[in-house]
């Protein structure tokens, strides 16, 4: 999964939506740790700005 930074409003809804806590805020960027991401799509479904996509 990847976060389209231009679309991301930093609302952090996706952080709570991720069952394995793969998403975190680093500085001003919200990022996904691909090493633990399950590609479940929960974050993409939760994002109100459609900022998360499958790679």
Residues 8 to 27 in contact with ligand SF4, rule: CB under 6 A:
8-14, 17-18, 20, 22-23
Say how far apart CA 26 and CA 32 lie, in whole Å.
10
Rank residues 8 and 28 by Cβ distance to ligand SF4 and give the closer one. Answer: 8
Tell me if 53 contacts ligand SF4 by CB under 6 A: no
Q: Which of 48, 35, 28 is nearest to 17 (CA)?
A: 48
Q: How far is the CB of 26 from ligand SF4 (least distance, A)?
A: 12
Contacting residues toward ligand SF4, per CB under 6 A: 1, 3, 8-14, 17-18, 20, 22-23, 30, 32, 37-43, 46-47, 49, 51-52
């Amino acid at each position: 999964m990847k976060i389209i930074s231009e679309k991301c409003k930093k609302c952090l809804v996706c952080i709570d939506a991720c069952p394995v806590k793969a998403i975190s805020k680093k500085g001003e960027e919200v990022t996904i740790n691909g090493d633990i991401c399950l590609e479940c799509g929960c974050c993409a479904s939760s994002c109100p700005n459609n900022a998360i996509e499958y790679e």
